[in-house]
Structure 1
Amino acid sequence: MSLVRLGGAAGRPVMVVGPSLGTSVVELWSASVSWLAEDFQVFGWDLPGHGQHRPTQPSAITISSLAADVRGAVERVVPGPFHYAGVSVGGAVGLQLALDAPSLVVSASLVCTGARIGTPGGWLERADLVRAHGTRAVVAGSRDRWFAPSTSLTGPDRVERLLASLLDVDEEGYAAVCEALAGFDLRDRLAEVAPPVLAVAGEHDVATPPDTLAEVARGVRSGRLVVMPDVAHLAPFEAPRRLADLVRQHARTAVGATGSSSVDHRGPGAQGLQAAVSHG
């Protein structure tokens, strides 16, 4: 695995961003990066068989092995602590990184994800489907899961381009990531996660609904939930500036995190309704 440089001047703090299943990091994050690059050097990574990550022999992977690969790629390019933001499986990798390398992850923004995503049986069925029929078989389902109604109405051309790019994803790589998600479950280890976590949910997300992100925010040592209106499963694509503002704000305040969890349903900049959660 290698990192993709997405923007930002050398010498700024490092932000690493991760993709969702079926997308490349460039396609998913480029709009948000235009704002994040004002404060960070931004690097991204791609899943096996996606974007610029084209393994010649796809092999079995786990979320833990992906996290180790990301950590190794970062250490080769920009050694030292970094901020992290990831979507869906990219968020799962971020949660694993925060658990495995707390001294390296300054802040973790976990977007449209969960400590467990879906069910093992559902992921294994999807892996079999893609191996049998290619990624074309999951385009319609992705359309339903990925986008809020307002996104499909106001940006239909962008939506179609992103869905079309799904056809370029290697089917073995896609299936291997499905199998990795089938074996992923950190719900019993959330209390061990030390870096400050921002859990971002999409109001219309059926794949990882707000309750799934609330579980993460409540479970980690220092967590906060924000539910974004008019967003489904791909927040950096659907609301790039709003998400960039959230991630940037979280990164700036991470050092001063108090160790409590809070809920804010009004988006970036809102003081909001907050409910502290004691971790005992």
Structure 2
Amino acid sequence: MSIPTITGVALGGRADAPLLLLGPSLGTSATTLWAAAADALAADFRVVGWELPGHGHGAPTSVPFTMADLARGVLALADELAGDSAFHLAGDSVGGAVTLQLALDAPSRVLTAAVLCSGARIGSPDTWHERAATVRASGTGAVVAGSAQRWFAPGFLDREPARGSALLHALQGADAESYALVCEALAAFDVTERLPEISAPVLAVAGERDVPTPPSSLRTVADGVRHGRLVVLDDVAHLAPAEAPHEVARLLIDHAGGGRTHD
């Protein structure tokens, strides 16, 4: 195992604003998933997305890693950006899992945490190992159709064809081995019993239509941590930052105490 080098992508905001790190879902890039929400977040934060290995601008890797290794990589990125200052953290799916891991491993650094369409455990080990094998054998193109069904609520691709297409192209362009290694890290991830250790305020955001991480998964997080709140978004599936960017941005600003007044 090794600590992956995590690449950051500037998504807006002033350099002297509070740092908000945004984590991706498996198969997405920081830009394709978070750009629309980041436009609204930039008035309150220095917004930086982070990439999974082999996704977006992230460097590919063939070295196995754990979710704790990914969290250490994200913390190293935060050190580069803000020294030892505390920061706000949000992530969708695997990005949410890393958010929980980092809140456990570096509690003094996380001001607030937001976990979107994610969980303290996601899926089953067998399912993740099967997907890793599929992608190693046939590339990420083999999972595009299934991901399109899981990622988006009915009607989203008709309403937002450009955003949906960009996300699916990011998946097809992801490095197969890096993708498989993320699957294997997810197979071993389960912090359910450790949720009570998390002291940072946690916002858990669920998509009403999300099958991989349904509202019950986010309820477990919100109820398990010391200071948790659950919000369920109507007509949203697994990629809330892309499907409901303005609502997600409002929730994150309110959760972090951005202080802006919303209409």
TM-score class normalised by the smaller sequence: over 0.9
Indicate the residue corresponding to 2:31 in structure 1.
Answer: 26
Indicate the residue corresponding to 1:201 in structure 2.
Answer: 206
The one of 145, 151, 156 equivalent to 2:156 is 151
Structure 1 consecutive aligned stretches of length 4 or more whose deviation exceeds 6 Å: none
Distance 1:71 1:161 in 2: 28
Q: How does 1:110-129 map to 2 (within 5 A)?
A: 110-129=115-134
TM-superposed deviation, 1:89: 0.1
| CA contact 1:48–1:58 (8 Å) conserved in 2 | no
Indicate the residue corresponding to 1:47 in structure 2.
Answer: 52
The one of 16, 38, 50 equivalent to 2:21 is 16
Distance 1:88 1:62 in 2: 15
Q: How does 1:82-93 map to 2 (within 5 A)?
A: 82-93=87-98
| CA contact 1:199–1:214 (8 Å) conserved in 2 | yes
| Aligned-partner residue type, residue 89 of structure 1 | V
Distance 1:135 1:49 in 2: 11
1:59 aligns with 2:63: yes
Distance 2:103 2:258 in 1: 17
| Aligned-partner residue type, residue 65 of structure 2 | I
Distance 2:48 2:160 in 1: 26
State the TM-score, normalized to the length of structure 2. 0.94
| CA contact 2:12–2:47 (8 Å) conserved in 1 | yes
Indicate the residue corresponding to 1:274 in structure 2.
Answer: none
TM-superposed deviation, 1:154: 1.2
Distance 1:236 1:248 in 2: 13
| Aligned-partner residue type, residue 66 of structure 1 | L
TM-superposed deviation, 1:44: 1.3
Distance 1:58 1:104 in 2: 29
Change (3 A) 1:201 1:14: same
1:71 aligns with 2:78: no
The one of 6, 9, 12 equivalent to 1:4 is 9
The one of 106, 111, 114 equivalent to 1:106 is 111
Distance 2:204 2:167 in 1: 24
TM-superposed deviation, 1:253: 7.7
| CA contact 2:56–2:170 (8 Å) conserved in 1 | no
**Percent same amino acid at aligned positions?**
55
1:176 aligns with 2:176: no
- Per mean C-alpha deviation after superposition, the further-off stretch among 145-154 and 96-105 is 145-154
Distance 1:170 1:185 in 2: 25
| CA contact 2:33–2:242 (8 Å) conserved in 1 | yes
Distance 2:192 2:36 in 1: 31
Q: Which runs of 5+ in 1 are unaligned?
A: 255-268, 270-280
What CA deviation, in whole Å up to 9, does each residue of 1:19-55 have, x standing for no partner?
0000000110000000100000011110011011123
User: How many pairs align?
Assistant: 254
| CA contact 1:150–1:230 (8 Å) conserved in 2 | no
Distance 2:210 2:93 in 1: 11
| CA contact 1:20–1:90 (8 Å) conserved in 2 | yes
SS of structure 1 residue aligned to 2:257: helix
SS of structure 2 residue aligned to 1:176: helix
Q: Which runs of 5+ in 2 are unaligned?
A: 1-5
Indicate the residue corresponding to 2:43 in structure 1.
Answer: 38
Distance 1:107 1:253 in 2: 11
Q: CA RMSD in A?
A: 1.3
TM-superposed deviation, 1:58: 2.0
State the TM-score, normalized to the length of structure 1. 0.88
| Aligned-partner residue type, residue 166 of structure 2 | R
Indicate the residue corresponding to 2:139 in structure 1.
Answer: 134
Higher relative contact order (CA 8 A, sep 6+): 2
